[in-house]
Amino acid sequence: MTFSALPIGLVAGMAAALLFAGLVTQSPGAVVLALAAPVPILIASLGWGSKAGFIAAAASAIAIAAFMGAALPGVTMLLGSALPAAVIGHMAGLARPRADGSSLDWYPLSRLLFALVALAAVTTLVLGMLLGYDAAGLEAAVTEALSSQPDSPISDPEQIREFVRLVVGAIPFVQPMLTVLTLVACLYISAAIVRLSGRLPRPKDEIPATTALPKAALPIFALGLAASFLSGPVGTLGAVVAGAFGTGFTLVGLATMHRRTRERPARGLILFSAYGAIFLLTFPLLAFLVLGVFDTAKNRGTSLPQS
């Protein structure tokens, strides 16, 4: 371990803990800051090496646990934000010399995205078990809370139950989606910051051209989606896997749009219209999910390494 890794990791860990602290203390408006908690850890890992990133992850979890006087908030910080950031930062810094010794082969963006999506699914499942996620209990509590509100926009008890069932049923899909998007955004921002400082050894990735998922992601997504229609823990497991990998395929579809519209005169209008439709309607994301699956299956999917 170099001398700089320890202080950089500790400082980054404290910064990440401060960003995350508002969420565990239920501070209003702290969600946005908590979503940025991986950034200091990723900056430490990308700019000062993997050891600094893992030190930052451990320091942030310990700081949160000490601040709250309980281990569970620290574990939540570690699994939900810190450890995935440190692992992704480590993978982004992996490289090996080419056979001719001319340059380095960096860890491919497709496998990095696969690892990120898988981490999001696994950490969501583990956190759900640790926090005691109970869909039936949550559904009952939310239904009772809405029914007791005199000014509730839904007055019919059956409509309230249907609405709550829909919202609670979406949680296993939405949580890993949010985790994937948060990690991707934080990785992009952190790499840009470290690159400006001149400490990022990895060359800039051509994101539209290299964003893909290995073909191994296709059966995983298909199995998760099929299992999500079942009830009980199996259905929850399937929903989490489908949510995480579905978000990954959607990102591949968006990258495909950027790549295929290059050098076209109407590119600006196409991109503006697509993102405007996504922002206003949301459901156009399904089209990009299908495009990402199709692109992976037919054209650009890669194989995972055998060792």
The pLDDT averaged over each successive group of 10 residues in the chain (307 residues) is 80 93 67 89 96 96 92 92 96 89 88 96 94 82 73 68 84 94 96 94 92 95 96 93 97 94 90 92 91 87 47
- Domain termination residue (choose one: 39, 66, 94): 94
Whether residue 225 is contained in a domain is answered as: yes
Do residue 11 and residue 131 come from a single domain?
no
- Domain termination residue (choose one: 94, 113, 137): 94
Do residue 88 and residue 154 come from a single domain?
no
Q: Do the beta carbons of residue 173 and residue 286 sit within 8 Å?
A: no
CA distances from 96 to 47, 50, 100, 262, 274 (A): 18, 15, 11, 31, 38
Whether residue 212 is contained in a domain is answered as: yes
Do residue 70 and residue 143 come from a single domain?
no
- Domain termination residue (choose one: 94, 124, 146): 94
Whether residue 99 is contained in a domain is answered as: no
Do residue 186 and residue 267 come from a single domain?
yes
| The pLDDT of residue 30 | 72
Do residue 111 and residue 82 come from a single domain?
no
Instruction: State how many domains the chain has.
Output: 2
151 DSSP assignment: T
Do residue 120 and residue 162 come from a single domain?
yes
| The pLDDT of residue 131 | 86
Distance from C-alpha of 278 to C-alpha of 290, rounded to nearest angstrom:
15
Rg, the chain, Cα only: 21
Its domain, for residue 41, covers 1-94
Instruction: Give ∠ CA 42-237-109 in degrees, rounded to 5.
Output: 35
| The pLDDT of residue 162 | 82
Do residue 56 and residue 141 come from a single domain?
no
Distance from C-alpha of 58 to C-alpha of 47, rounded to nearest angstrom:
18
Whether residue 279 is contained in a domain is answered as: yes
Q: Do the beta carbons of residue 244 and residue 180 sit within 8 Å?
A: yes
Q: DSSP for 123-150? A: HHHHHHHHTT--HHHHHHHHHHHHHT-T
Residue among 76, 83, 94 nearest 41 (CA): 83
Do residue 156 and residue 209 come from a single domain?
yes
Whether residue 72 is contained in a domain is answered as: yes
Residue among 296, 136, 156 nearest 232 (CA): 136
Distance from C-alpha of 34 to C-alpha of 49, rounded to nearest angstrom:
23
Q: Is the dihedral of CA 214, 40, 126, 224 positive or negative?
A: negative
Tokens 């209008």 — which residue?
Answer: 269
Do residue 84 and residue 216 come from a single domain?
no
Question: Which tokens sit at 241?
Answer: 């896997």
Residue among 91, 78, 89, 94 nearest 44 (CA): 89
| The pLDDT of residue 29 | 64
Distance from C-alpha of 106 to C-alpha of 98, rounded to nearest angstrom:
10
Do residue 119 and residue 222 come from a single domain?
yes
Distance from C-alpha of 107 to C-alpha of 93, rounded to nearest angstrom:
7
Whether residue 44 is contained in a domain is answered as: yes
Do residue 144 and residue 78 come from a single domain?
no
Distance from C-alpha of 44 to C-alpha of 9, rounded to nearest angstrom:
6
| The pLDDT of residue 306 | 40
| The pLDDT of residue 305 | 47
Whether residue 295 is contained in a domain is answered as: yes
Do residue 33 and residue 147 come from a single domain?
no
Distance from C-alpha of 228 to C-alpha of 236, rounded to nearest angstrom:
6
